[in-house]
Amino acid sequence: MAETMRATVADYGDVLRARDAYAGGMQWLTAKNHQYLTRYRQDPLTGEKKATSLGRRTPENEAIYDAFMKERAELDERIAVLRPVMAEQARMARALRLTRAPSEVGAVLRAIGTSDLLDRLTLAGDACVFAYENEMGSLLSRDVLPDDGLDLVVDDMRAADRIEELAAVLRRAKIPVRPGRGRGHDLAVLRTEENLKIHLFTLSSLERMVDGYESSFAADVPRWALEQPPVRSVVIDRTGRAATVSVLDPRAWCILRSVALEMEEMSPNAREMATDLVSATATMVHEKTPFEEEQVCGFRPLLDALEGEEFLPPPRL
């Protein structure tokens, strides 16, 4: 079921991204007894309506207008076909109890997954485990599942610059957001009305964390984890709706989260919960994509999970 939903929501995202090129519209406007072809659309960042004249009515411009209207109608028809399919899949996902991620997390990820930000923002925090469950075909205990926050990595510009694009995408999806307290160029924050906190980190901030990690046993493993390409996956939220996501490689996530547990300041309770999540996820990942010995020996949560008996194999879907 998860694979079917993955394919459908990916198709839907492709269609919506194509449809975005036709947002707004095209019309003939008359000025001084001449008709002019005008292309108009709303600016995604400012919300202002902008119009551009494409010139007087000519056979060439008539062909442009006809092609625009025809192609937009074809995309709208495809969207109309996919929506009831996804609604039925959501109903089946609820019946099969595949609904794992908080609904507010799913809403944000759907907005990103149907926009041009899909390949520019990589899911990197604890919410990654909702995708890994679908990748591994296993379910973690609900006791260890995260229920707050989204951490995203941007690798090609400052976090503060990309946050403006993300805010525009979320507002267009009718998800009101407000800025939170960031940290220079490396961290930008948004909050939704449901008080979901969205962090945008730069890849360079993760690189500095890895460079500052001192462990003779870890060797170059954290650097290896950073170099792994993202994985295209799917998250299913508690409403049964799916979202396409770009997510850290599962083994890379386990390693980088183990590094973060050593480097970040957190309360004893938070550290225990985070350790339990990393260990349980590592056990699940290891069943399908085994870790190499050198990828484990430098990280206590991975050693405890893969060499001890504290965590039982997760139930199969």
Q: Looking at residue 305, what is its pLDDT?
A: 82
Helices (H) and strands (E) in the chain, counts: 10, 10
Q: Looking at residue 309, what is its pLDDT?
A: 41
Q: Looking at residue 313, what is its pLDDT?
A: 44
Q: How far apart are CA 150 and CA 169, in angstroms?
A: 16
pLDDT band at 314 (very low <50, low <70, confident <90, very high): very low
CA distances from 165 to 72, 157, 281 (A): 24, 12, 32
Across 31-45, 46-60, 84-98, 296-310, least confident range: 296-310
Q: Looking at residue 110, what is its pLDDT?
A: 96
CA distances from 205 to 44, 159, 185, 242, 290 (A): 28, 10, 9, 30, 28
Q: Looking at residue 310, what is its pLDDT?
A: 41
Question: Span 30-49, mean pLDDT?
Answer: 83
For residue 311, is pLDDT > 70? no
Question: Span 278-295, mean pLDDT?
Answer: 90
Q: Looking at residue 2, what is its pLDDT?
A: 80
What is the reported pTM? 0.86
For residue 267, is pLDDT > 50? yes
* Higher pLDDT among residues 267 and 243, named by residue: 243
Q: Which residues pair with 291 in a beta bridge?
A: none
Handedness of CA 256, 260, 263, 269 (dihedral sign): negative
For residue 282, is pLDDT > 90? yes
Across 109-113, 179-183, 245-249, least confident range: 179-183
* Closest-CA residue to 121 (of 86, 167, 79): 167
Across 43-57, 104-118, 256-270, 273-287, least confident range: 43-57
Give the position of tokens 């449901």: 194
Most confidently modeled range among 106-110, 272-276, 292-296, 303-307? 106-110
* Higher pLDDT among residues 55 and 266, named by residue: 55
Q: Looking at residue 297, what is its pLDDT?
A: 79
Q: pLDDT tens-digit profile of 146-205?
A: 887 899 998 767 787 788 889 989 998 999 998 887 665 568 899 999 889 999 988 888
Q: Looking at residue 227, what is its pLDDT?
A: 92
**Adjacency order of strands within the sheet including 25-31:** 25-31, 34-42, 49-56
Q: How far apart are CA 152 and CA 190, in angstroms?
A: 11
Question: Span 112-132, mean pLDDT?
Answer: 94
